[in-house]
Amino acid sequence: MQRQSSFKYEGQKLASWYFTVAVILFGVQLVLGLVSAIQFIYPSFLYDILDFSIARMIHINALVVWMVYAMIGAVYYLLPDETGIEVVGIGIAKLLFWILTLAVTVVVLVYIFIQIGPGKESTIWLITEGREYIEAPRWADIGIVVVVLGFLVNTFLTTMKGRRTGIMTVILSDMIALAGLYLAGMFFTDNISMDQYWWWWVIHLWVEATWEVMVGALAAYGLIKVVGANREIVEMWLWIEVAMLFGSGILGLGHHYFWIGTPEYWWEIGALFSSLEPLPLVGMFIHVLYDWGKEKGIKTGTGEDTSSNNTPALMWLVSNGFGNFLGAGIWGFFHTLPQVNIYTHGTQFTAAHGHLAFFGAYATILIAMFYIAVQGKYGIKKTKSHICFQNGDIPHNFRGFRNDCGTYYCRI
Amino acid sequence: MSKKVSVWTDNRFWQRSATWVTGFSAVLLIWLTFDTMGQISMGTQKDINAHITKRVPSSTVINYKVEYKMNQRRGHEVPVIGGDDGKGNSLFKIKEEFFGRDDYTQKEADALLHLGKLTSQAKNCMDCHTLLGNGAYYAPDLTKAWLDPMWQKDGPMQAMTGKKTKEEAMAEFLQHPGKYPTHARMMPNLGITPKEPKDWLHF
């Protein structure tokens, strides 16, 4: 039974498409992650059919792509909300969505069925680039750039035409940097030191700078939306976060240049700046708790209902604050000093950090955005964290109660 | 807002700070990148002839003996080419044959390297193996595979593959990994051997 969608804008409908694909890719990521994990224990599992290298590649690529989808979706969702107008080129935006989705499907099918190619340029163009996280073949690289460019132009024009908020300014400049950095990962070189130098420009400056700023902006939007936080305070925090994240994150890039043949001064630069990287993450965690507590306190004072209007989203926002701080901050700090890193470099410790950080920092905030979109789609005034059924079969341990939207049946 | 606010709670102040901090970091990063690019550009046979040690030496190092020694000046182990002077500096003297030759020209060596690097990407090596600390941690680290005792004269791999040199043993293994089970096997692929010299020579 499909209810009429209550989205106010077409841009938000498009966002829900992006979110849908993101969730599917999230599923792909989980399945392939599971396959890789099984192969660690039983190496013969799917040997020569879907080897670890392929399973793992799809696992990490699905990760990157679902997050990019969810981020684009999140921007399309909040764009009309923030600017107060419809996305300018919504028709083109929808077309680009289908092109991107088609391209992603083709790339995944090639990954699964063709897997690898001969050591020729054609492989790099058509099958795989064989570079961790950005294996996508070059034709897809170019396609991605075109689609993202369309998305950027749309965001830019909409922001310029509509109301210009601090959140939109941050997102817009961040998206431009984010897209530009992808270009650094699109060339081939025989020199592996050079290769890795630029590879880290993409990877590090994405996940430890531009993506983190994106998280800050999404959290800011989420807090305004979910607990009704004060925009001026939230945006001030956001600017402080941007200063701290970029201030530490950009030169923190040095911590990847300890052992790849680059000059020794990167030891000092990398150690200094990357040890500062956890600070903004602590700040972000405090910020979420602060706003949540403050708004709750005000409501208690005036005798209003203190619950937030989207409990699952709020819970994911809070877990984002904590997860980001734990996975990216603490786990990252553990091994960011060269003296420690010389022993942890190239070990499973990095994998542990990668998993905790990606989940804590990015998965959580994007899942919060999913919940905000679900709320928007069905026009729910207050989303609760119960499993609810409407009519239909009601399990015996569920009980009905009434709320704004009718009778729901929830687990007791 | 009409009432005077402290600079610390002024959004404009923080916005400007964020812009300045970001700009400053970015400019510094770009400047350092230029410096690093110069230092990690690949050397040539001319450098070797002139005994100039480059961070990333010429592909013609396949003509020389390559080891890994503590360098006093740089404070960590570095690849040493053609013997060392006891302080971790390359002497570029001791040669070593690679597939029966030690006179590869710059052009030949570059071509081999190019093919090797392309192959390493085309086969997705790094989604199981590690190179310079990057990659997956499922299969052995390849960074210093060239110096791995497993493949040396008295190591098990030469005996197992029935080859007399480590490069021949590696080539044989890479072409038929299924025949020589060691642990979790690699998939059979076109083991183009020249890839090897590149991997260990960095760092």
Tell me if A369 sits within 8 A of A26, measured CB to CB.
Answer: no
ipTM for the predicted complex comes to: 0.81
Per-residue tokens: B153: 């004269």
Least confident of A41-45, A114-118, A216-220: A114-118
In this prediction, residue A79 carries a pLDDT of: 94
User: Domain coordinates of chain B in residue numbers?
Assistant: 7-40, 46-201
Report the alpha-carbon distance of residue B49 to residue A280 in Å, rounded: 51
Quick check: A45 pLDDT over 50? yes
Q: Is some CB atom of chain A closer than 8 A to the CB atom of B49?
A: no
| B20–chain A nearest CA distance, Å | 8
Report the alpha-carbon distance of residue A85 to residue A168 in Å, rounded: 13
Q: CB B17 to CB A239 under 8 A? A: yes
Which helix (H) or strand (E) segment is A253 a member of? none
With tokens 């592909």, the residue in question is B59
Q: Which residues, in sequence order, are CB contacts of B64 under 8 Å at separation 6+?
A: B48, B81, B82, B92, B94, B95, B96, B102
Judgement on whether residues A335 and A370 belong to the same structural domain of the protein: yes
| A72–chain B nearest CA distance, Å | 23
Report which of residues A239 and B155 the model is more confident about. Answer: A239
Mutate to test the interface with B, among A35, A131, A190 (most CBs of B within 10 A): A190
Residues B106-130 have a mean pLDDT of 76
- Chain A contacts of B138, Cβ < 8 Å? 36, 39-40, 52-53, 56
**Three-class SS string for A191-230?**
CHHHHHHHHHHHHHHHHHHHHHHHHHHHHHHHHHHHHCCC
3-state secondary structure of A159: helix
- The distance between the two most distant Cα atoms of chain A, rounded to a whole number of Å, is 70
Query: Where does residue A118 rank: exposed (0-12), middle (13-18), buried (19+ CB within 10 A)?
Result: middle
User: Does a structural domain hold residue A12?
Assistant: yes
Report which of residues B163 and A25 the model is more confident about. Answer: A25
CA proximity to A333, closest of A387, A276, A383, A287? A276
Q: How confident is the model at residue B162 (pLDDT cuts 50, 70, 90)?
A: low
Judgement on whether residues A102 and A170 belong to the same structural domain of the protein: no
**B26, B36, B130 ranked by CB distance to A346: nearest:** B130
Judgement on whether residues A200 and A291 belong to the same structural domain of the protein: yes
Q: CB A52 to CB B184 under 8 A? A: yes
**A189, A260, A263 ranked by CB distance to B132: nearest:** A260
Q: CB A260 to CB B202 under 8 A? A: yes
Report the alpha-carbon distance of residue B96 to residue A350 in Å, rounded: 36
Residues A21-46 have a mean pLDDT of 89
**A40, A346, A347 ranked by CB distance to B138: nearest:** A40
Judgement on whether residues A360 and A400 belong to the same structural domain of the protein: no
Q: Count how many domains chain A has.
A: 3
Judgement on whether residues A176 and A324 belong to the same structural domain of the protein: yes
Encoded amino acid at A228, one letter: G
Give the model confidence (pLDDT) of B173-199 as tens digits: 666 666 555 443 343 343 334 444 444
- Chain B contacts of A355, Cβ < 8 Å? none
Domain that holds residue A192: 165-380
Please, which residues 2-31 of chain B have a Cβ atom closer than 8 Å to chain A?
A: 9-11, 14-15, 17-18, 21-22, 25-26, 28-29
Q: Which residues, in sequence order, are CB contacts of A314 under 8 Å at separation 6+?
A: A226, A227, A292, A308, A368
Q: CB B138 to CB A56 under 8 A? A: yes
User: Does a structural domain hold residue A143?
Assistant: no
Judgement on whether residues A374 and A389 belong to the same structural domain of the protein: no
Per-residue tokens: A254: 């040095």
Judgement on whether residues A67 and A79 belong to the same structural domain of the protein: yes
Report the alpha-carbon distance of residue B188 to residue B97 in Å, rounded: 26
| A268–chain B nearest CA distance, Å | 13
| A245–chain B nearest CA distance, Å | 9
Mean pLDDT computed over every residue of chain B: 73
DSSP codes of every residue in B36-54: HHHHHSB--HHHHHTT---
Judgement on whether residues A196 and A284 belong to the same structural domain of the protein: yes
Residue A185 CA, chain-centre distance (Å), reads 19
B89-118: buried (b, 16+ CB within 10 Å) or exposed (e) per residue?
bbebeeeeebeeeeebeeeebbebbbbbbb
> Using CA atoms in the order A332, A333, A338, A341, what is the torsion angle rounded to 10 degrees?
-50
Report the alpha-carbon distance of residue A405 to residue A402 in Å, rounded: 8
- Cα angle: A374, vertex A11, A203; to 5 degrees: 85
Please, which residues 109-168 of chain B have a Cβ atom closer than 8 Å to chain A?
A: 110, 113-128, 130-139, 141, 143
Q: How confident is the model at residue A393 (pLDDT cuts 50, 70, 90)?
A: low
User: Does a structural domain hold residue A65?
Assistant: yes
Judgement on whether residues A79 and A200 belong to the same structural domain of the protein: no
Judgement on whether residues A376 and A232 belong to the same structural domain of the protein: yes
Give the model confidence (pLDDT) of B19-73 as tens digits: 999 999 999 999 999 998 888 888 888 888 888 888 777 777 778 887 777 888 7
- Chain B contacts of A51, Cβ < 8 Å? 128, 187
| A307–chain B nearest CA distance, Å | 28
Quick check: B105 pLDDT over 90? no
Enumerate the β-bridge partners of residue B80.
B67
Give the model confidence (pLDDT) of A111-154 as tens digits: 887 777 666 777 777 777 767 777 788 888 888 888 889 999 99
* Beta sheet of A398-403, edge-to-edge order: A388-389, A406-411, A398-403
CA proximity to A288, closest of A252, A254, A258, A313? A313
In this prediction, residue B197 carries a pLDDT of: 43
Give the model confidence (pLDDT) of B125-137 as tens digits: 777 777 766 777 6
Judgement on whether residues A355 and A217 belong to the same structural domain of the protein: yes
Judgement on whether residues A221 and A259 belong to the same structural domain of the protein: yes
Tell me if B134 sits within 8 A of A200, measured CB to CB.
Answer: no
